[in-house]
Amino acid sequence: MDLTRQMEYTATSEGNRVIIALTPIAGLPVEKKPPKEKAAPRDPLPPPAAEKAVPARPRKRRPPVEREEETAVSASKYTGRRISLDLQDADLVNIIRLFAEVANLNMILAPGVTGKVTVRMVNVPWDQAMDIILKMNGLGYIREDNILRIATLGAIAKEAEAERRAKDAKKKAEDLITRIISINYATASGIEGTIKKSLSPRGATVVDSRTNTLIVKDIARNVDEVVTLVKLLDKPIPQVMIEARIVEATTSFTREIGVQWGGTATADAAHGNPTGFSFPNSITMTGGPTMGTTFGGAGNYFVNLPAATGSGVGGAMGFTFGSIGGALNLDLVLSALEATGQGKVISTPRISALDNKEAKIAQGQSIPYSSTSAAGTQVQFIDAQLSLVVTPHVTPDNKIFMKIKAEKNAPDPSLTVQGQPSIRKNQAETEILLSDGETAVIGGILIMEKADSVARVPFFADLPLIGWLFRTKSVRNDKREVLIFITPRIMRQEALL
């Protein structure tokens, strides 16, 4: 059968097979071809009895290879019914009509659609086969509902360019409108740069800073798009309430045990106990003058190691021992002190802040310090205050990212210089992500001080039984702990109204 002639065809379906029957059109002259030279013998191919779409045998599908090619219609996936084709010098128009019959689509061919096709394809989607055949002939297609329009690539490109020019001409011919848009939360100048990208070349914007208003002039479609965009951008800035709790707890324990004793011992004729020697004929023994006078007034202390007792602090007990003649007098004082203290200070600064804006709150006092120089005496002030500096950011999923600096400085009367107290500082600076209403510890300081001290008289303090008369002992345990808690809460707009 000569496939180069124009033919009539019929398509019938039997089960999962489609049979195409081709019949030459009667009355058309047969084109005679000059005889061809005999070619070298080759393996014979089965002659095509008729153009038919043979159902493909089931076989493993290879993964598709993705390629970027320039075409009128880009198709990265073919979903048409699978067919097999074996054609030689077939008319292109008839092949396209075959695809229309298989896909049950209407097709319109441009006048320049002509050519011959020689192809052998097995088990391929019909739309892929058609796409490849059209590409090989410099053709493309445009699908509109169930109609396929097939033309040359150049004609399709010209049509697309003509449509684009028609749209541009329509935009240029369309009337311009002016709309005044009030900005509530953002600034008009800040939004202007964003909305300009949605305007046509004929569009323009004007910002009125006094009323925070945006004036837009463009075609109606673009103006409506700008209004929608402004509604999305002009949203209230989230506000965050940050509450900090700075807890400072102190525990102290002190214990001291002291001893003081001294007096006089005299051996002379006045007291009836001379030494009986020419020298020394008399002897008097008492404590050193720097040790202080005993409470009984009889000489000075030999050992003066008291506890730090006083009015309202600790206790002491004194004993006086003396002989009948007054030759020997002894004063003994035992003192003891034990103190336990507990303290707790809670500071709760709170502050509200806008999204991405720094906020600060501080409370405290300025302590004066005097300094002397060649210019004279000058007074300087050092701040001892409680402060909270925070910059919050609310994420789209209602989490809060914060940069925090919490500081608590207070005077410490336990350490003074020239009567001026020192400054005890507690500070934490960090970045943290929390959920709405979640509480977290951003920092903590634990200080433990333990001291055991013994004051003693060498050698005598090591004597058994009486060694305690020559030494004093003190024990001190101090504990200070500082914890800083942070709790952010998003302030809802309905709660503020």
Structure tokens at 92: 């292109």
- The pLDDT of residue 49 is above 50: no
Burial class (CB in 10 A: 0-12, 13-18, 19+), 485: middle
Report yes or no on 212 lying in a domain. Answer: yes
Q: In this structure, are 265 and 217 located in the same domain?
A: no
Q: In this structure, are 418 and 482 located in the same domain?
A: yes
2 falls in which pLDDT band (50, 70, 90)?
Answer: low
Output the pTM of the full model: 0.52
- Residues 27-36 have a mean pLDDT of 48
- The pLDDT of residue 39 is above 50: no
Picking from 336, 359, 392, the residue at the C-terminal end of a domain is 336
Report yes or no on 482 lying in a domain. Answer: yes
- The pLDDT of residue 96 is above 90: no
Give the model's pLDDT for residue 22. Answer: 67
Close Cβ partners of 384 (under 8 Å, ≥ 6 residues apart): 364, 365, 366, 367, 409, 410, 411, 423
Give the model's pLDDT for residue 433. Answer: 93
Q: In this structure, are 483 and 468 located in the same domain?
A: yes
Q: In this structure, are 328 and 354 located in the same domain?
A: no
Task: Dump pLDDT digits (tens) for 215-252.
Answer: 999 888 889 999 999 999 888 888 999 998 888 888 98
- The pLDDT of residue 259 is above 80: yes
Give the model's pLDDT for residue 6. Answer: 65
Task: Dump pLDDT digits (tens) for 421-470.
Answer: 888 888 888 999 999 999 998 888 888 989 999 988 898 888 888 888 88
Report yes or no on 58 lying in a domain. Answer: no
26 falls in which pLDDT band (50, 70, 90)?
Answer: low
- The pLDDT of residue 106 is above 80: yes
Closest CA to 306 of 460, 454, 472: 472
Report yes or no on 316 lying in a domain. Answer: yes
Give the model's pLDDT for residue 466. Answer: 87
Give the model's pLDDT for residue 265. Answer: 87
Count of other CB atoms within 10 angstroms of residue 206: 13
- The pLDDT of residue 122 is above 80: yes
Q: In this structure, are 183 and 290 located in the same domain?
A: no
In the Cβ-directed half-sphere of 93, how many Cα atoms lie within 13 Å?
A: 13
Domain containing 97: what range? 82-169
- The pLDDT of residue 378 is above 50: yes
Q: In this structure, are 294 and 416 located in the same domain?
A: no
CATH code assigned at 186: 3.30.1370.120
Report yes or no on 109 lying in a domain. Answer: yes
1 falls in which pLDDT band (50, 70, 90)?
Answer: low
- Report the domain count for the chain: 4
Helix (H, G, I), strand (E, B) or coil at 156: helix
- The pLDDT of residue 393 is above 90: yes
State how far the Cα of 437 lies from the Cα of 335, in Å rounded to an integer: 55
Q: In this structure, are 272 and 380 located in the same domain?
A: no
- The pLDDT of residue 54 is above 70: no
The better pLDDT of the pair 133, 412 is held by 133
Give the model's pLDDT for residue 428. Answer: 87
Task: Dump pLDDT digits (tens) for 169-206.
Answer: 777 777 889 999 999 988 898 888 888 888 888 889 99
State how far the Cα of 409 lies from the Cα of 365, in Å rounded to an integer: 10
Q: In this structure, are 144 and 227 located in the same domain?
A: no
Q: In this structure, are 363 and 469 located in the same domain?
A: yes
Instruction: Answer for the pair 249, 305: CB distance below 8 angstroms, yes or no.
Output: no
Report yes or no on 11 lying in a domain. Answer: no
Give the model's pLDDT for residue 25. Answer: 62
Q: State the average pLDDT for the chain.
A: 81
